Amino acid sequence: MHIVFAAPECVPYAKTGGVADVAAALPREVARQGHQATVYLPLYRQAQKYLKETKVAIPSLTIPFPFYNRFVRVLDAGKLDGVQFYFVDCPELFDREYLYETPSGEYSDNAERFGLFSRAVLESSKQLGVPNLFHVHGWPPAVLPVLLRTVYYFDPILKNAACLLTIHNADRQGRFPAKTVEQLLLPWDVYSDDHVKLDDTFNFLKGGIVYSDAITTVSHKYAEELRTPEFGHGLDPVLAKRADDFRGILNGVDYRVWNPATDSKIAAHFTPEKLEGKLTCRKDLLHAFAVSSVGESTAVLGMVSHLSTQKGFDLVAQIFEALKKENVLLLVLGMGEPYYENLFRELGEKNPGKIAVRIAYDETLAHKIAAGSDMILMPSRSEPCGLNQIYGMKYGTVPLVRATGGLDDTVEEWKAEAGTGTGFKFYGLEPEALLKTVRQALAVFADKEQWRKLMRNGMAQDYSWAKPAKEYIHIYEEIVRRKS
Q: What is the contact surface with ligand GLC in residues (CB under 6 A)?
A: 17-19, 22, 168-169, 218, 251, 383-387, 406
Pairing between β-strand 201-203 and β-strand 175-176 as defined by DSSP bridges: antiparallel
Q: Which is nearer to ligand GLC, 89 or 225 (CB)?
A: 225
Nearest-approach distance from CB 408 to ligand GLC, in angstroms:
12
Q: Which is nearer to ligand GLC, 39 or 158 (CB)?
A: 39
Q: Which is nearer to ligand GLC, 180 or 382 (CB)?
A: 382
Nearest-approach distance from CB 333 to ligand GLC, in angstroms:
15
Q: Which residue, 462, 367, 449, is CA-closest to 416?
A: 449
Q: Which is nearer to ligand GLC, 54 or 310 (CB)?
A: 310
Nearest-approach distance from CB 393 to ligand GLC, in angstroms:
14
Q: Which is nearer to ligand GLC, 19 or 347 (CB)?
A: 19
Nearest-approach distance from CB 61 to ligand GLC, in angstroms:
29
Q: Which residue, 201, 136, 203, 145, is CA-closest to 165?
A: 136
Q: Which is nearer to ligand GLC, 432 or 462 (CB)?
A: 462
Could you tell me which residues come within 8 angstroms of residue 154 by beta carbon, excluding any fewer than 6 positions away? Answer: none
- How many of the other CB atoms lie within 10 Å of CB of 323? 20
Q: Which is nearer to ligand GLC, 16 or 150 (CB)?
A: 16
Nearest-approach distance from CB 178 to ligand GLC, in angstroms:
27
| d(C-alpha 425, C-alpha 370), whole Å | 18
Nearest-approach distance from CB 310 to ligand GLC, in angstroms:
8
Nearest-approach distance from CB 390 to ligand GLC, in angstroms:
9
| d(C-alpha 453, C-alpha 375), whole Å | 14
Nearest-approach distance from CB 216 to ligand GLC, in angstroms:
10
What's the CA dihedral at 224, 226, 228, 233 to 10 degrees?
170
What does the DSSP 8-state code read for residue 464? B
Q: Which helix (H) or strand (E) element contains residue 461?
A: none
| d(C-alpha 471, C-alpha 35), whole Å | 14
Q: Which residue minimizes CB distance to ligand GLC?
A: 18
DSSP secondary structure string for all residues of 211-277:
HSSEEEES-HHHHHHTTSHHHHTT-HHHHHHTGGGEEE----B-TTTS-TTT-TTSSS---SS--TH
Nearest-approach distance from CB 17 to ligand GLC, in angstroms:
4
| d(C-alpha 289, C-alpha 240), whole Å | 46
Please state at what angle helix 313-324 crosses helix 431-445, rounded to 10 degrees. 50
Nearest-approach distance from CB 22 to ligand GLC, in angstroms:
5
Could you tell me which residues come within 8 angstroms of residue 283 by beta carbon, excluding any fewer than 6 positions away? Answer: 267, 372
Nearest-approach distance from CB 23 to ligand GLC, in angstroms:
9
Q: Which is nearer to ligand GLC, 384 or 396 (CB)?
A: 384
Q: Before 12, cis peptide (omega within 30)?
A: yes
CB 382 within 8 A of CB 171: yes
Q: Which is nearer to ligand GLC, 27 or 386 (CB)?
A: 386
Q: Which is nearer to ligand GLC, 239 or 387 (CB)?
A: 387
Pairing between β-strand 201-203 and β-strand 197-198 as defined by DSSP bridges: antiparallel
Q: Which is nearer to ligand GLC, 7 or 479 (CB)?
A: 7
Q: What share of the chain is helix, strand, coil (3-state, %, to 5)?
A: 40, 25, 35
